[in-house]
Structure 1
Amino acid sequence: MSTTHRIALIPGDGIGQEVIPPATAVLDAVGRRHGISFAYDEFDWSCERHAHEGAMMPADGLDRIRTHDAILLGAVGWPGVPDHVSLWGLLIPIRRAFAQYVNLRPIAVLEGVPSPLSGARPGEVDFVVVRENAEGEYSEIGGRMNRGLPSELAVQEAVFTRAGVARIADYAFTLAESRRKHVTSATKSNGIVHTMPFWDEVVGERAAAHPGVELRSEHIDALAAKLVLQPQNFDVIVASNLFGDILSDLAAAVAGSIGIAPSGNLNPEREFPSMFEPVHGSAPDIAGKDLANPLGAIWSASMLLDHLGHPEAGAEVLDAVRAQLAEGRVRTRDMGGTAGTAEFTRALLERL
């Protein structure tokens, strides 16, 4: 029986517009073999739209995509539009309105993509960062006073709730049960005296419900160092919004290229659509030059397949990616090759 999924496409800015077509081409190719079809609705929500319309998306934007099965996003950001405007005008409203409280970022050193770390070898470094995606340090509570005066001040409040910490911890422990049964919790309870001890307490409480999973807490500064020195020692890392954001980008660099790093903004209960996007930015310096690495978007599409209940199709995409990189014949420039976006995509589609 054939299954059809409606996907909202938001190519966004810069190379986001160049990596979404390869991702959808891969989805269509693997879908044909598995009896899955995709109906795409594309939206021009972007910094370019902001420049013309004064908003990243229309007032009813969330309602337009609320009933889609998933969202595939390219990248957002462009010179002339401050980053906080583009982020809070599009990505964060989607994440919060659709309760996408899990930001999932798999990290792996792949054969054919050398890590800058000599000890990070393919097959040995394979972990997942589970980032809390809806509260924490990225709250809207706070403000600024006395702008432009010597007494000017800014206050930004971090918000941690028992429900928010418990649900992200439960997700991390459940994920670890299907992997190597080890969770590392990022904290800073020796210096941040209220929210981080609270985080530690709730994570510890949730660990009791998963007795088969080992829990270790690490202060964020030491954890960042260990992620560089011993990346092979990690399985699942669970972290607050800010800590998870920083750690996952660091981890992508450890893996050899931020251009290959995917992410999923998940609503695990599936009450709302989840959103999948490559970690890389809009890269204005290479936009329009056929230089973008489409792997981050393609890997994100694989995660989309997993989330929609098609793990075999998702695995086939990753198998093809791994095989192409291991062969080493067709790679983009950020991975040491000479192929452009289109050439790399054609080779991958032929392999699929």
Structure 2
Amino acid sequence: MLYGTPSLQAADKTVLAEIEDMRQDLKYRLAETHRWDGQLRRQLQARAIQGSNSIEGYRASVEDIQSIMSGEEPLEASASVTKAIAGYQQALTYIGLLSRAPAFRYDVGVLNALNFMMIGHHRHKTPGVIRPGSIWVRDSFSGEVVYEGPDVEHVPGLLDELVTWLNEGDLEVPSYVRAAMAHFNLVSIHPWRDGNGRMSRALQTLVLGRDQIMTPEFSSIEEWLGEQRITIDYYDVLGAVQKRQWRPHGDTLDWLRFCLRAHHMQAQRVGRRLAEAGEIWTLLEEQVDADGLNTRCVSALYEAFVSSRLRRSRYQADEDLSQGQAARDLRDLAVKGWLQPYGETKGRYYQAGPRMAEVKTEFADRVTPLRDPYR
């Protein structure tokens, strides 16, 4: 028996309707091709990876995560963090493919494979294989047991039940609701020795992707969950609804509302970024033209605007340039005061120069607070 899907109340239906309105708006805006689309998607995926892994203690900058995503050595992330990030990116990439696959059914093999991708570098944790015994989740500060998973002999049957539900259960329920319950049930079953939280958040993204709720980069709430104050709320609501051990019941409305709020807040944030992207790109185009620089330099300036660090190799790949062309462009941008170089050879990177800092400050001052849909 799994945790049941709660009945929606009027407030929840209102929030769902608002999320759907924002989704449709994003869908229409994404239907048009823009020069900044690729960088925006890469940023969103990197932030999702950062959020989900930071919850588990694997912390890396968005810039290092983008380097790992492109197969480069990160400048700051440790070897263990780099492996965790690379594994999670591989799993998310597969989820992206599965979201668009014409023929697909959930099965335990897929879940085990995703777990192996995420933690395959920890062979001693038997990645992709059901845990051999009991499992407890402890408070990282006090060491107190805050949750005990179901007995191991029940885990295979519970996974089979979850897979059956994913394929056939509650199909009339809104996708955001099904995705939230998939997340909750998998993290509560806690079927593996490690990676259960990351797997559950990734499964939520896959359920939405299969229901064509845009692409995973735009539908994931992992970035939102990774913020420190939200992470605390995330664990609090999990603990309150789970009640310390596996005991399926239908009183999961608080969990569902937490997830709907997260989707609403993240959708507001992504919508704002998408709207600003066009404005920022146009402004930078005007500045590049006025300085007599090649139009392609806007790509480097946009990256410097949305990131704290730009590497030559990323700009080179984005614009399909030779190493010499990319290096000259970045040197010219530094001379004009747009970028500031740091480091040497492979460790060289660029940050915002004085002129870019002025632009970033102007936009930072214009940010308005996000609206909590339940208040």
TM-score normalised by structure 2 residue count: 0.29
TM-score normalised by structure 1 residue count: 0.30
Structure with the bigger percentage of strand: 1
Structure with the bigger percentage of helix: 2
